[in-house]
Structures are given as structure tokens and as C-alpha cells.
């Protein structure tokens, strides 16, 4: 049996393979959706990005006002040996290692714009990022766009609902662990993250609550009741986080130093000192990693069953397509040429006769096009009155001895313009017939091969 650590690594490999194949969620239960994941949910300005950066120990996420995260970010963390250099890799640039995390931030922005354009639109196509570091635990997180209540300039009127629908599509899956992030300086009852988590996970068995900005609460108030689970109870413990201050961000205070300051805050806090051992980003990361490993172990049978089902479907498809091509390059070329010749023969028979199809193309040029041309208004366009008008207008204020060439050009160009509609319609009709004949020829070639193999 594989170790717990290797289980997360194995799930990460399957997840990357699914993304490459275009399986990243959608209708039905896909393999990607069956894999246990941790989805990070929070409203804009809830401190979601700061929590992720604290867990990683690096500044690597784009910052700004409005919707910054506009595509799901699948973040796979891999713990390496102490002293090893940290680096990051994107699935869409698998051969490039990023050791400069400012470049990682820029690449996330650029890759987002590649799909959405330089707009404020969102897309459900994920970006997959792996970070290798001695300062992380083995963990996979999915950062989702922040929930918002109003659309701003440059966003569609449906952006609020679009984001909610995207978030819901991830967290409503039974294998998804929800990391609900709420700011402590706002009423927990109005938290966007808790509200949507409660709707899809009313028992709270899949939800981990995170309370940020504890140091920004009004003087004389605290969040002890929330953190102790008395104000809003979940099946898992609440975790408090102290984000870096804006001044620390502006000064580029090292994240490892920020983690140390966070530990000191809880250890010296009169309100939270008794909870210090289970507060902070480092504790949160360990807690999630252990729980993700536990869920993966519980889901192994169903994941194996789904993989075996996919293998059976692919084998059935391979049986339908035909026997595998020999490894020898010469044999491969010979087999491909045979397939091309067989298709060419069938397609040629459709066009030249012997099989139906070519007669329909003839019908387009013999019936459809002439009938359309007869309906063109040439009697009106080339009437004596219209010809005189066009020729006279082409004359301008200059007298002429013979009819000016410009007038005839206008008449001819105008007449040619009438042909455009029927001609394009005929081309489209022939194009559709040819596409249908190609599909039929492929199917008939495959059927012929299957009969010959039998």
C-alpha cells in the first residue's frame, strides 16, 4: 500500500492528466470531479489570497481591486527536502521552472488573459500550478474567484451570478472539501463563504471555517466564540489567521517572517492564547493535508472503479477502431497508407457515382443556383431608366462625347453584387454535402475494415 504522502502525489498526477485531456468538471461525474479536492471560497476582500500565500510561504498571486482571480487556480504543493531550492511549474509550460515568484504572479495574469482577454470576464478553464518547496506540506487547493454582490464597470450584468454558479459547481460535489474564508471584522452571519457553504453542506461535515483579519477587529471585541465553535458550529475546527498588514506587503516582508509574527500574535494574545496551538496558516495547512489524505484513502475504491470504467470504455473504442498499428515505422506508414487508400476509394465513389452523393452536388448547380439567379432583379437594375441614371451621374459636371466608362463599371459592379448571395448559398450547400460525404465515407471505410477483420 502506498504511503499517505504518495497518495496525494498520485491524485495530483491523475488531476494533471485530466486537465490535459480537457476533463476539468462539467455535466455528469467525471474522473476530475471524483478526485478529492480542497476548494477555497471567500468574498472579495476576505483575505483569501493572503491565506493562500501564507500557506505557501510566498508572494505569488496577482493583486488588485475587483475580481483578480478570474479562472480557477489548481494549486498543487509538494514538500521537498530542507535546503532544496523552491520553484514552480505551470502545466501549460511544463518544461519551464520558475524560481522567481514575481514571474509566477505575472504568468498567472498572462495565462488568465489568454483565455478571457484583457477584460474582467471569468472562465471555468483552470490554471494548474505546482510549487515545490521545503516550507509547504503536501496539499492541493483550488482557488476560486471571490464572491461579489455587484458588477463594476467592464463586467457583464450576470457576473455576480456567474461567479456564484462557478463556485457552486465545485463545492457542491460530494468529494470537495470547502475552505470557507470569512473576515473577523464582519458579522459571521453575513459571510458570503459561510452562506454558500451552508447551502451545499448544511451539516458542515465538508466545511473548514477560516477567520481572517483578527487583528483588525474593533477594540474591545474578539472572535473567541466563533473560533471555539459556539457561534457557528462546524464538524471541523475553526482556524484563525492573521494576514500581513498592507504596510508589510508594501515593504515586501518575507512570508516566513510573517508566519513567525503570526505565531507570536496568537501566543501573546490574552484572548486567543489558549487556542494558539491550533491557529495560524501553518496549522491550517497541516490540518487540511491530513484531512485530504484521509478523504483520499476513503475514496480510493470509487476512484479505482471510475478509472477502470474509463479504461473499459477506451478499450471498447479501440476495438471498434481496429487493431493497433505495428511498432515498426515502416509498418505504421503502410497501415496509414492503406487506410487513406480505402477512404479515397469510398469517397471517390460517392463523388463520381456508384454511391449516392455526387448527384446532390450536381443538383445544387443544375437546379438551386439557376433558380436563384432567375429571381435576381436584373430587369429593374438594368432597365433603360436606371442605366440612363447611372451613366448620367457618372458624368458629373463634365460633358462627354461618348458614355463614360465609370458608368458602365458601376452597372457591372452592381450586377455582380447580386450574384454574391446565391453563389455563397451554393458554396455552403456543397460544403455541407461534402462534410456529410466525408463522415459517411469514414464510417463505411471502418465498417469495411471490421468485416474484413471478421
**76: enclosing H helix or E strand:** strand 73-79
8 A C-beta contact, residue 107 and residue 90: yes
- 3-class DSSP state of 370: helix
Q: What is the mean pLDDT of residues 382-410?
A: 68
pLDDT in tens, 292-343: 989 988 988 888 888 888 888 888 877 776 656 665 667 777 777 888 888 8
Q: What is the mean pLDDT of residues 194-206?
A: 94
pLDDT at 266: 94
Q: Return the higher-pLDDT residue of 66 and 433.
A: 433
**Of 35, 22, 121, whose CA–CA distance to 71 is shortest?**
121
pLDDT in tens, 150-193: 766 666 778 889 899 999 999 998 889 999 999 998 888 889 99
DSSP 108-176: HHHHHHHHH-SSS----PPEEEEEEETTS-SEEEEE-PPB-SS--TTS-TTHHHHHHHHHHHHHTSTTE
The backbone region for 199, taken as left when phi is positive above 0, alpha when psi lies in -120 to 50, beta otherwise, is: alpha
Q: Are strands 73-79 and 127-133 parallel, antiparallel or unpaired?
A: parallel
Q: Return the higher-pLDDT residue of 410 and 437.
A: 437
DSSP 96: E
DSSP 82: T
pLDDT at 117: 77
Confidence band, pLDDT 50/70/90 cuts, at residue 1: very low
Confidence band, pLDDT 50/70/90 cuts, at residue 100: very high
Q: Return the higher-pLDDT residue of 26 and 243.
A: 243
pLDDT at 115: 85
8 A C-beta contact, residue 415 and residue 382: yes
Indicate if the pLDDT at residue 61 is higher than 50: yes
Rounded to whole angstroms, how far apart are CA atoms 33 and 172?
A: 10
Q: What is the mean pLDDT of residues 4-21?
A: 74
pLDDT at 75: 92
Rounded to whole angstroms, how far apart are CA atoms 1 and 9?
A: 14
Map out the domains of the chain with their CATH numbers.
Answer: 4-316 (3.40.50.300), 329-453 (no CATH)
- Buried b vs exposed e over 31-51: b needs ≥16 C-beta within 10 Å? bbbbbbbbbbbbbbebbbbbb
- CA-CA distances (angstroms) from residue 425 to 216, 326, 356? 67, 45, 22
Q: Return the higher-pLDDT residue of 363 and 317.
A: 363
pLDDT at 120: 73
CB atoms closer than 10 angstroms to residue 182: 30
pTM: 0.68
pLDDT in tens, 390-401: 777 666 666 665
pLDDT in tens, 259-271: 889 999 999 999 9
Rounded to whole angstroms, how far apart are CA atoms 369 and 372?
A: 5
Amino acid at each position: 500500500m502506498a504511503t499517505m504522502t504518495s497518495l496525494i502525489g498520485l491524485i495530483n498526477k491523475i488531476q494533471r492528466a485530466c486537465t490535459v485531456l480537457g476533463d476539468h468538471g462539467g455535466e455528469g461525474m467525471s474522473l476530475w470531479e471524483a478526485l478529492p479536492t480542497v476548494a477555497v471560497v471567500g468574498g472579495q476582500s476576505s483575505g483569501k489570497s493572503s491565506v493562500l500565500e501564507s500557506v505557501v510561504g510566498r508572494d505569488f498571486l496577482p493583486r488588485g481591486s475587483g475580481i483578480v482571480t478570474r479562472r480557477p487556480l489548481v494549486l498543487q504543493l509538494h514538500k521537498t527536502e530542507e535546503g532544496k531550492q523552491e520553484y514552480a511549474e505551470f502545466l501549460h509550460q511544463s518544461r519551464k521552472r520558475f524560481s522567481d515568484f514575481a514571474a509566477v504572479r505575472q504568468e498567472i495574469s498572462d495565462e488568465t488573459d489568454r483565455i478571457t482577454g484583457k477584460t474582467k470576464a471569468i472562465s471555468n478553464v483552470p490554471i494548474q500550478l505546482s510549487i515545490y518547496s521545503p516550507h509547504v506540506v503536501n496539499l492541493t487547493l483550488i482557488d476560486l474567484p471571490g464572491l461579489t454582490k455587484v458588477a463594476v464597470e467592464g463586467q457583464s450584468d450576470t457576473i455576480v451570478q456567474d461567479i456564484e454558479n462557478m463556485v457552486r459547481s465545485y463545492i457542491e460535489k460530494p468529494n470537495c472539501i470547502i475552505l470557507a474564508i470569512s473576515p473577523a471584522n464582519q458579522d459571521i452571519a453575513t459571510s458570503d463563504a459561510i452562506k454558500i457553504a451552508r447551502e451545499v453542506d448544511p451539516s458542515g461535515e465538508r466545511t473548514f471555517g477560516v477567520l481572517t483579519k483578527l487583528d483588525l477587529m474593533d477594540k474591545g471585541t474578539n472572535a473567541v466564540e466563533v473560533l471555539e465553535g459556539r457561534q457557528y458550529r462546524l464538524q471541523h475546527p475553526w482556524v484563525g489567521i492573521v494576514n500581513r498588514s498592507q504596510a508589510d506587503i508594501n515593504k515586501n516582508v518575507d512570508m516566513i517572517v510573517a508566519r513567525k509574527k503570526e505565531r507570536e500574535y496568537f501566543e501573546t494574545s490574552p484572548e486567543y492564547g489558549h487556542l494558539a496551538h491550533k491557529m495560524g496558516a501553518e496549522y491550517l495547512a497541516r490540518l487540511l493535508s491530513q484531512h485530504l489524505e484521509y478523504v483520499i484513502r476513503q475514496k480510493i475504491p470509487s476512484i479505482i472503479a471510475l478509472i477502470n470504467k474509463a479504461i473499459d470504455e477506451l478499450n471498447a473504442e479501440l476495438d471498434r477502431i481496429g487493431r493497433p498499428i505495428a511498432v515498426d515505422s515502416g509498418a505504421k506508414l503502410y497501415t496509414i497508407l492503406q487506410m487513406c487508400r480505402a477512404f479515397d476509394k469510398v469517397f471517390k465513389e460517392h463523388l463520381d457515382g456508384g454511391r449516392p452523393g455526387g448527384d446532390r452536388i450536381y443538383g445544387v448547380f443544375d437546379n438551386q443556383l439557376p433558380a436563384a439567379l432567375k429571381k435576381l432583379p436584373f430587369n429593374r437594375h438594368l432597365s433603360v431608366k436606371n442605366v440612363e441614371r447611372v451613366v448620367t451621374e457618372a458624368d458629373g459636371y463634365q460633358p462627354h462625347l461618348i458614355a463614360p466608362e465609370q458608368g458602365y463599371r458601376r452597372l457591372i459592379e452592381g450586377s455582380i453584387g447580386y450574384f454574391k448571395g446565391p453563389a455563397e448559398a451554393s458554396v455552403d450547400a456543397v460544403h455541407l454535402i461534402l462534410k456529410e460525404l466525408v463522415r459517411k465515407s469514414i464510417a463505411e471505410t471502418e465498417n469495411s475494415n471490421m468485416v474484413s477483420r471478421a
